[in-house]
Amino acid sequence: MSTWEKIKRSQIYRSVFRHGYKDTKPNRMHQIVSNVFLHLHPTSVWRHATDIRFTWGMGGITFLLFIVLTVTGVILMFYYRPTAEYAYADIKYLEHDVPFGMFLRNMHRWAAHLMVITVWLHMLRVFLTGSYKPPREFNWVVGVMLLVLTLLLSFTGYLLPWDQLAMWAITVGTNMARATPFLGHEGPFGTELGMKADNDIRFLLLGGTQVGPPALLRFYVLHCIALPLLAVAFMIVHFWRVRKDGGISRPPEHE
């Protein structure tokens, strides 16, 4: 008996791997069902779900990018302090002194840009194949929520390097909140309702009257904790409903 054979028969090996890779029908199902991650899939799918020209794979790629962003983001958190004193210096430190720090930051930024694009393309595919139609209406709504969350995640992350690009992009973006009808001090009926620069909705968002240290902390917490948790919650519903609605949409047998 070869060593490899001995290892495979050991109690330890068998406790971890419950079946071989032999290409048999039961094994093909086991690969999916006995794996907690692949278990997201059913054991078999409609043939057109494996046609890349039909699906474009954009939903899956978006999910992959979310995972990439989570991993790189968690590592970046080791090197970053969300205060006006340290934030910029920490990015400089990351770029010049941390091994692979620049690479890490690049991957986080480019994956974030790419994710916005893949979400849009996913929405386009779902629309062009009419996949939002009954019974999948609500999953489309969840998808729009995820689109908004993706944009908000990207927007809150944009401030964190605390450089000129970050500060002024967020200033331009959040200045619009001043003009919110009723709730902003420059919006229609805002002053009539007692809105001022230091009590309107923009103040709530920034924790101040301009993009300053409190805004940095708020955006950091939103970016690293609140929004990812929300996105995960919506993703769980999104994937679950894809399964419950019978996998990706397919042409009805009669029309």
Rounded CA separation 82/180 (Å): 28
Which residue from 76, 149, 153, 211 is in contact with another protein, where contact means CB under 8 A? Answer: 211
Is the bond into 135 cis (omega within 30 degrees of 0)? Answer: yes
Q: Which stretch binds another protein (CB under 8 A): 1-9, 11-19, 104-112, 236-244?
A: 104-112
Q: Which stretch binds another protein (CB under 8 A): 5-13, 73-81, 98-106, 229-237?
A: 98-106
The residue (of 10 and 43) whose beta carbon lies closer to another protein is 43
Question: Residues with Cβ < 8 Å from 200, sequence gap 6 or more?
Answer: 177, 178, 180, 183, 184, 185, 190
Residues 159 and 211 sit within 8 Å (Cβ to Cβ): yes
Rounded to the nearest whole angstrom, what is the least distance from the CB of residue 221 to another protein in the complex? 18
What SS3 class is residue 249?
A: coil
What's CA 9's distance to the chain center, in Å?
41
| Per-residue contact string for residues 230-249; x = within reach of another protein by CB under 8 A | ------------------xx
| Per-residue contact string for residues 125-144; x = within reach of another protein by CB under 8 A | x-xxxxxxxx-xxx-xx--x
Which residue from 7, 13, 60, 86 is in contact with another protein, where contact means CB under 8 A? Answer: 60
DSSP conformation letters of 216-254: HHHHHHIIIIIHHHHHHHHHHHHHHHHHHTTSS----S-
Rounded CA separation 38/210 (Å): 47
Which residue from 82, 161, 203, 220 is in contact with another protein, where contact means CB under 8 A? Answer: 161
Which residue from 77, 151, 232, 233 is in contact with another protein, where contact means CB under 8 A? Answer: 151
Q: Is 20 in the site for another protein (CB under 8 A)?
A: no
